Structure 1
Amino acid sequence: MFRWLSMLAVCALARVNADDVLDYSGDDFSDRIGEHDVALVEFFAPWCGHCKRLAPEYEKAATVLKDNDPPVALVKVDCTSESGGKDTCSKFGVSGYPTLKIFRGGEFSSEYQGPREQNGIVSFMRKQVGPSAKPVLDKDAMEKFIGNSEPSVVGFFAEDSDLKKAFLKTADNNRDDYRFAYTEARDVIDKYGYQDDAVVLFYPPRLHNKFEEKQLVYEGKSSENKIKTWIKDNILGLCGHMTDGNADKFKKPLVVAYYDVDYVKNAKGSNYWRNRVLKVATKLKEEGKEVYFAIAARGDFYGQLSEFGLDSSSSDKPVVAARDTSDDKFIMKDEFSVDNLEKFVRDFLDGKVKRYLKSEPVPEDNDGPVKVVVAENFDEIVMDDTKDVLIEFYAPWCGHCKNLAPKWDELGEKLKDTESIVIAKMDATANDTPGAFKVSGFPTIFWAPAGGKDNPEKYNGGREVDDFMSFLKRKATHARDEL
């Protein structure tokens, strides 16, 4: 009986969470959306796989944001609904699913460009309500604001000043990225000790440590650009907590320690390993080394770990990976310790660590008319500056790639005796590709001519053999007369 009641309670909770997303698929969208100062609207289709993956995160965020001060409404519109949803989606130019848009006072405000998981949605939308910089009137409110789990940028102003104007302008133009507040209350200013006007960055209490200050004071000119740069340079601290919502804000070269980071259930354990990373970060900063550090929950970044070929499930200790300014990947093979981390980072900065490449084995026999390229022989074949290379990046499961395959083989056969031109192919799902060869769909074809390897050209022509031959006759560096 108890088990049955528990199941009913769970189901009831699930219904409450789901109902917190407001369904405005009817023809009264315009009237209902106007009831909210700020709302996030998801335009979706029931059959859409991306929409189904977003749904539970969207529902959890809705439950949190309905109790926000002020509240933020999360709305959904079924674009297949004949009762009004179709017309609403058409009115707002929805052409793909899910599409998310921000509305203010019932009017479209901007496209939503934030994260698509619960915490990221909550964080992003909280910054959309109220003034860009929240006015704080008393000490309790200030304590609550800077006690948040995210960094806070706070202005202390005894009177109007150029610094205050620059601060408020910075807040207006950067509210999507950072949390801003300001105070003119004398008792609050006195408590925090900023008798002169000041802009202060407060790190969240959960990340306080003995290696860096809990807060930083801006000491530059009264300039929006200067304040913005200062925030950007310091907001993450010596070793930031990487999440889905801020991953794109970390500079490179970047060293990341992946482990079971959880500041809700195990803050002490999370900081235990972070403090060891901070020890190395502090030492290298004092030496003037330009390198950045982060910690990340392995459960949130399985995709990144997979890119590095790392399996972190076999150890409770962090696994460490790095990216340089060219986005090349490097992994620390030794077991985590402060000494091993320091050695790895120093070797990484000095170019002594071999970059990691996800690669199939180099083919033992590669004498066919179409050269098989893998990550390990990419430079040897594609980047050979004496050869023109036309390379196809494909996926084994791709129907278009399968249709192209016999034509690609025929093209290779036609050119097998033309030594200055190479026809090649690479499975882009099993091998890393250099940044200049950005693969956005399958198949993607690039032209890498002799003398122009650093700036390859994406091929956008027809996909018949004659189309490829016409292209090569126009583009070939050495062999045009042979074609």
Structure 2
Amino acid sequence: MLVMFYAPWCGHCKKLAPEFEKAATRLKGTVQLSKVDCTAHSETCGRFGVSGYPTLKIFRNGRDSAPYDGPRSADGIYQYMKKQTGPDSVHLKTEEDLQTFINHYDASIIGVFSGTDSSHLSEFLRAAALLREQFRFAHTADLNLGKNYGVTSECVLLFRPPRLSNKFEESVVVFTDYLTIGSLRRFIRDHLYGLCPHMTVENRDRLRVRDLLTAYYDLDYHHNARGSNYWRNRVMKVGSNYAGRGLMFSVANKKDFLSELEDDFGLGTSDGEELPFVTIRTKLGHKYTMREEFTRDGQSLQRFLEDYFAGRLKRYVKSEPVPEKNSAAVQVVVAETFDDVVNDPDKDVLIQFYSPSCPHCKKLEPVYRELADALSSDPSIVVSKMNAVDNDVPLGYDVQGYPTIYFAPMGKKDEPIRYEGGRELKDFLKFVKREVSHSLRFRAPNDEL
């Protein structure tokens, strides 16, 4: 059973509710989905350690088994909970069993052992119990089932999905190291995706721990696997020449990431309808786009990669236009002017990241303007603000809500200080006075300080 602990007033709960209902309908008869209103049943929620909403937990045989940390979409919940049903590892007894198991949309991890009393089998089953939410496991106690893959002794076979089969890499990878839960986890992590995985909303965070090139196009492996592989094969052909250089390759359905492409790369809904749209997003958050059309011979992609590795590409930065006039006490910063203003080595800078629709930001506005007026007589300090919705937030600034305020000290721009104090003028002045690198000059209204 999957249980959602929620509060009726919680916005995230309201957003999740229709997805949860859809997943419940699809899983009916397989996995039961339930929900508990914590405003009406606070004792029950407290007993299970619920401190935020929504909290999702998996129960087995009436006991709290594990937190649910899977996707929050209907399809993601469905796929994740389907993996919770049945055994941790499927026992394969015949070649037909094996072929049926590996002929699947996702990858398969199969342990091949010499008998049911194998010590390696027991370790494999322990690993499967821990990792079943992420991967599909099966095992056989018959070594003969591995002979078609060159197996003559106990090992683990990783079968990549048949839909992603290609001539640039092997579809089956053999693990022959000493089997432990840790070594098996590392083996799966290092070999599961191969040269060019299919990035989805569910696996994108795992892929983006590395520098990642992605080709976005009309990809649909459920209904058009051959067409989906047309462009993927071209990415792989070029990408195989750059293996081992620290860049991973992937393909993705453009429609699944449309809002992200619009927000992060300024891609319009009508841009690149036919040809793939190619981006590179590094693990540090730097973004690059291939401006040349993706040619079928792959030459444009190769030129893009050569420029990337040579350091010739200009990073893509989402930015509002540079203001024509910027004479107000609170200086307006956009992404393109962030370095010039906030990272000015000769200035101490207070920067507020805000959203135009945020009521807290609007409430703060007169106080923040009053602060800027009070500090306007000091040429060494700048009070500024940036619309964090329409501009990329630079690395080193963690903006999860609005307003978020940082102080970028003179000479230490790589160590910005987050403001956590009150929202009154005197609170800001005390903070700035404490952090500035010089003797602060300011005009406090009514000589408050």
TM surpasses 0.5: yes
Aligned runs of 1:80-229 on 2, under 5 Å? 88-89=44-45, 91-159=47-115, 163-164=120-121, 166-190=123-147, 192-229=149-186
* C-alpha distance in 1 between matches for 2:58 and 2:218: 34
The reply on whether 1:267 has 2:225 as its aligned counterpart is yes
Mean CA deviation greater in 265-274 or 127-136 = 127-136
Note closer, same or farther for the CA distance 1:211–1:358 as it changes in structure 2 (3 Å cut): same
Contact 2:113 2:143 in 1 (8 A): no
Aligned runs of 1:343-422 on 2, under 5 Å? 343-422=303-382
Question: Cα deviations across residues 417-466 of structure 1 (Å, max 9, x unaligned)?
Answer: 21221111111111000131111111111111123222212111011111
Contact 2:374 2:442 in 1 (8 A): no
Structure-2 residue corresponding to 1:236: 193
* C-alpha distance in 2 between matches for 1:408 and 1:55: 38
Mean CA deviation greater in 53-62 or 142-151 = 53-62
**Off by >6 Å, runs of 4+ in structure 1:** none
* C-alpha distance in 2 between matches for 1:376 and 1:247: 28
* C-alpha distance in 2 between matches for 1:53 and 1:466: 39
Contact 2:143 2:153 in 1 (8 A): no
Contact 1:101 1:108 in 2 (8 A): yes
Question: Cα deviations across residues 295-322 of structure 1 (Å, max 9, x unaligned)?
Answer: 1111111222111111253422111111
Q: What is the total number of aligned residue pairs between the two structures? A: 437
The reply on whether 1:284 has 2:284 as its aligned counterpart is no
* C-alpha distance in 2 between matches for 1:208 and 1:449: 53
* C-alpha distance in 2 between matches for 1:133 and 1:277: 34
Q: 1:72 aligns with which of 26, 31, 54?
A: 31
Note closer, same or farther for the CA distance 1:241–1:348 as it changes in structure 2 (3 Å cut): same
Contact 2:349 2:409 in 1 (8 A): yes
* C-alpha distance in 2 between matches for 1:162 and 1:333: 55
* C-alpha distance in 2 between matches for 1:450 and 1:166: 56
The reply on whether 1:326 has 2:288 as its aligned counterpart is no
The reply on whether 1:305 has 2:305 as its aligned counterpart is no
The reply on whether 1:458 has 2:418 as its aligned counterpart is yes
Contact 1:418 1:479 in 2 (8 A): no
- Give identity over the alignment, percent: 47
Q: TM-score, normalised by structure 1?
A: 0.84
Q: TM-score, normalised by structure 2?
A: 0.90
* C-alpha distance in 1 between matches for 2:103 and 2:172: 12
Shift of 1:254: 0.4
Write the letter of the residue equivalent to 2:32.
A
The reply on whether 1:42 has 2:4 as its aligned counterpart is yes
Note closer, same or farther for the CA distance 1:262–1:196 as it changes in structure 2 (3 Å cut): same
Q: Structure 2: any 5+ residue segments left out of the alignment?
A: 444-449
Question: Cα deviations across residues 303-361 of structure 1 (Å, max 9, x unaligned)?
Answer: 22111111253422111111123111111111112111121122123221111111011
Contact 1:133 1:180 in 2 (8 A): yes
Note closer, same or farther for the CA distance 1:224–1:62 as it changes in structure 2 (3 Å cut): same
Structure-2 residue corresponding to 1:15: none
Write the letter of the residue equivalent to 1:120.
G
Shift of 1:396: 1.1
Structure-1 residue corresponding to 2:447: none
Note closer, same or farther for the CA distance 1:144–1:57 as it changes in structure 2 (3 Å cut): farther
Write the letter of the residue equivalent to 1:212.
E
Shift of 1:111: 1.9
* C-alpha distance in 2 between matches for 1:273 and 1:261: 9
* C-alpha distance in 1 between matches for 2:290 and 2:378: 43
Note closer, same or farther for the CA distance 1:115–1:228 as it changes in structure 2 (3 Å cut): same
Contact 1:133 1:171 in 2 (8 A): yes
Write the letter of the residue equivalent to 1:218.
F
Question: Cα deviations across residues 264-307 of structure 1 (Å, max 9, x unaligned)?
Answer: 1221211111111111121222xx32211111111111222111
Structure-2 residue corresponding to 1:33: none
Q: CA RMSD in A?
A: 2.4
Write the letter of the residue equivalent to 1:332.
M
Shift of 1:223: 4.0
Q: 2:294 aligns with which of 336, 356, 373?
A: 336
Q: Structure 1: any 5+ residue segments left out of the alignment?
A: 1-38
